[in-house]
Amino acid sequence: MIPRSQLTFPLFFITALCLLSGCTQSADDAFYQSGVIYCSESNPVYFNPQLDTSSTTTDATSHQLYDRLLDFEPDSGRIVPSLASSWMISDDGLTYTFQLRKDVSFHSTSYFTPTRNFNADDIIFSINRWRLPSHPYHPVSGGRYPYFESLGLADNIASVERINGYRVEITLRQRDSSFLANLATDFSVILSKEYADQLLKQGIPARLDQFPIGTGPFRFVGHRKDHYIRYHRHPDYWQNKHSAEQLIFDITPRSSLRLAKLITGECDATAFPAQTELNVIRNRENLMLAEKPGLNIGFWAFNTQRPPFDNPDVRRALAFAIDKNTLLEAVYFGSATRAKTLLPAASWAYQDDADDTAYNPVLARKLLDDAGIEPGFSMTIWAMPVERAYNPNATKMAELIQRYLADVGIRATIVSYDWSTFRRHLRDGLHDSVLIGWSADNGDPDNFYRPLLSCSAIPSGTNRAMWCNEDYEQLINQALQTDEIEKRRAIYRQANRLLYEKLPLVPIAHAYRYQAYREVLSGMAINPYGGVRFSGVKKAQ
């Protein structure tokens, strides 16, 4: 009684849908293989890593869009030539002369077409931008250069001179054995002076940091906030010409969703796989998990400018109140090692026999009593809202610490904001204590000691303990005066001792670094010295 057509229609519809879904995979594989999709965790603040130390920013920019004068070799950590083909250091260790590479071209995009190749002017512009407060570009985009400020690098550079078009001379005021390493970090990128001049003339200098031009393997195409960043291959890249044609950052804040996309193949690689997901990745045949001990540290810092945390005994008491091993197991699931000092074991200055605090709530209570902290005292623990290798779940860790503190009669409340607000408030020093960490940008120990606890790192917002100690300053400055490893190591031992006595922060863990990607991706490796690199990465045919 029903006309046949009535029945065939839905059937047809369903078949059509199935056909559509079934046949996409096989055809036109070449198109899908031409690009690499990386699921990243958040939006970069700027497309210029000079302005931000967040790894989200460096991941999206440093090794994709830009080059540096020097680079780290990923395996050995040796400093190797990049835009500088060679360099010389004067005998007094104060003058560095760099010979620059020729025939390096800047990106040509819809918003800028370069008329000349890279030369010494670009180096001078890029360094002077963060070095000289009088530079026209210095105040652009906020005018903060946290990495360089935290190291006090600008004050130590006396001059940056152009010898000729391809030779630059940098003179320091004091010896700095970590200077070359600093030039090789993710933050010391080289920008285009020609582009900057053009923007300045047009009156829109801030575009320099939002519509980037560099010499790197990929050029910027577009960014839609919370959705994607799109890059195309730089066709005239001076170094490796075998990168994928397209590189796309698919911005996916949820870690579980990133894993799901990796499984379905919507991502080829993901940022920060959660510790709980590692086994899922290991058990899948078509997924790869690279792991390396990371150059990082997760810690619990006290705001040493706020009473009662300005009292080292109070800080020590709190350190004794927590059980680090439990934190390691519960938060890192065995993917981290216990931290005694700031330095991880991968660093050459690591001190194996350094002092460490042990779990002792009775002693903690006693110290608190001695310091006049009554039971019922309340404080805040700020837990960072994002996952990082050095602390994959700060909220969980904060909850555990909250319970430990309750045992010694301290009421702790957990505070969190979105990431940018969080860091702004931290810089203003609104916290009592904070769970956060640091990933090193180069292999030099100075990269831990200085940004984390030096006086100049307070305004730049990397010294979360707001701690400023003269003896400590002297020690870490002294360590840079010599190139002899043994001497430097001895100085850092003294610094460790001092830190153990003063305890501005409690070192908690050094985490492994993981990089999850699909088997089809070739050329993917962990970069222990900072951000992810996609140069030379492509999908296998």
Binding residues vs another protein (CB under 8 A): 1-3, 6-7, 9-10, 13, 17, 20-24, 27-28, 31-32, 34-35, 37, 221-222, 225-228, 230, 246, 248, 250, 252, 257, 260-261, 263-266, 418
Nearer to another protein, 181 or 271 (CB): 271
Measured from the CB atom, the residue of 36 and 317 that comes closer to another protein is 36
Which of 438, 383, 519 has its CA nearest to residue 151?
A: 438
Q: Toward another protein, which CB reaches closer, 206 or 358? A: 206
Smallest distance from the beta carbon of 266 to another protein, in angstroms?
5
Residues listed for the chain = 541
For residues 93 and 385, which CB has a smaller minimum distance to another protein in the complex?
385
N- to C-terminal Cα separation, the chain? 55
Measured from the CB atom, is 219 or 513 closer to another protein? 219
- Residues 504 and 318: their CA atoms lie apart, in Å, by 11
Residue 245: alpha-carbon gap to chain centroid: 26
What's the CA gap between 311 and 308, in Å, rounded?
A: 6
Q: How much of the chain is helix, strand and coil, in % rounded to 5?
A: 35, 20, 40
Nearer to another protein, 24 or 325 (CB): 24
Identify which of residues 135 and 230 has a Cβ nearer to another protein in the complex.
230
Identity of the residue, 9 or 348, whose beta carbon is nearer to another protein in the bound complex: 9
Q: Angle at Cα 130 formed by Cα 129 and Cα 135, nearest 5°?
A: 40
Residue holding tokens 């831990």? 448
Q: Which amino acid is at 518?
A: R
Q: Residue 218's closest CA among 94, 17, 61, 361?
A: 61
Task: Enumerate long-range contacts of 196-202, CB under 8 Å, 24 or more apart.
Answer: 196/125, 196/137, 198/112, 200/136, 200/137
With respect to another protein, which residue has the nearer C-beta, 221 or 330? 221
- Give least dist CB 218 to another protein, A: 14
Q: Work out how close the CB of 251 gets to another protein at its nearest, in angstroms, rounded to a whole number.
A: 10
In the complex, the smallest distance separating the C-beta of residue 24 from another protein, rounded to whole angstroms, is: 5
Minimum CB–partner distance for residue 209 and another protein (Å): 14
Q: Is 196 exposed, middle or buried (0-12, 13-18, 19+ CB in 10 A)?
A: buried
To another protein, the closest distance from the beta carbon of 274 in angstroms equals 16
Amino acid identity at 284: R
Angstrom distance (rounded) from CA 244 to CA 135: 37
What minimum distance in Å lies between the beta carbon of 150 and another protein?
25
Please state, in angstroms and rounded to a whole number, the distance separating the CA atoms of residues 119 and 83: 9
Which residues, 6+ apart, have CB-to-CB distance to 277 below 8 Å? 255, 256, 259
Distance CA 236, CA 460 (A): 37
Query: Following DSSP, what letter does each residue of 402-462 receive, concatenated?
Result: HHHHHHTTEEEEEE---HHHHHHHHHTT--SEEEEEEE-SSS-THHHHHHHH-GGGTTTT-
CB of 284 to another protein, least distance (A): 11
Cβ at position 306, least distance to another protein in Å: 25
Nearer to another protein, 136 or 265 (CB): 265
Question: In whole angstroms, how close is the CB of 216 to another protein at the nearest point?
Answer: 20
Q: Which residues of 304-328 are buried (b: 16+ CB within 10 A; e: fewer)?
A: beeebbebeebbbbbbbbbbbeebb
Nearer to another protein, 68 or 234 (CB): 234
Nearer to another protein, 230 or 306 (CB): 230
Which of 272, 292, 279 is CA-nearest to residue 510? 292
Q: Which residues of 5-14 are buried (b: 16+ CB within 10 A; e: fewer)?
A: eeeeeeeeee
Cβ of residue 406: shortest distance to another protein, in angstroms?
30
**C-alpha to C-alpha distances, 351 to 307, 342, 493, 496, nearest whole angstrom:** 31, 10, 7, 8
Q: At its nearest, how many Å lie between another protein and the CB of residue 418?
A: 6
